[in-house]
Amino acid sequence: MRIETYGQQLEVTPALQEYVESKLQRLDRHFDQPIEVRVQLGLRKPEHHAEATLTVPGKTLHADAGGENMYAAIDLLADKLDRQILKHKEKQPDHHAPRVADAL
């Protein structure tokens, strides 16, 4: 998994970088192939804002979240991305399951 974190009019500290990587690392368990995540952190008064674009095989997912501090925004962002990935994977057809027409 490749995570690129940058700030919009905000300096991304090593602590924020490490926190983003630790929170988004759980998304990697859903895929066998490498995925790429671009995370943008910023401040939109009065709240902190985090948004991410996740490139997975066959689709690009986007989520954004706001919170009273940056860590809360990152937590919400990770939860939203996790839900989107699960929804995306449910829509994927299982190529290994027998088709109904073959069973008849």
Confirm if 11 and 45 have CB atoms less than 8 A apart. Answer: no
> What's 23's domain CATH number?
3.30.160.100
Local confidence band at 90 (pLDDT 50, 70, 90 cut-offs) = confident
Say what the pLDDT of residue 9 is. Answer: 85
Average pLDDT, the chain: 85
Domain with 60 in it = 2-103
Q: Write down the pLDDT at residue 31.
A: 76
Q: Which residue, 48, 53, 104, 39, is CA-closest to 72?
A: 48
Number of domains in the chain: 1
Predicted TM-score (pTM) of the model is: 0.80
**Does residue 46 have a cis bond before it (omega within 30 degrees)?**
yes
φ, ψ for residue 26, nearest 5 deg? -65, -20
pLDDT number for residue 94: 64
Report d(CA 100, CA 79) in Å as an integer. 35
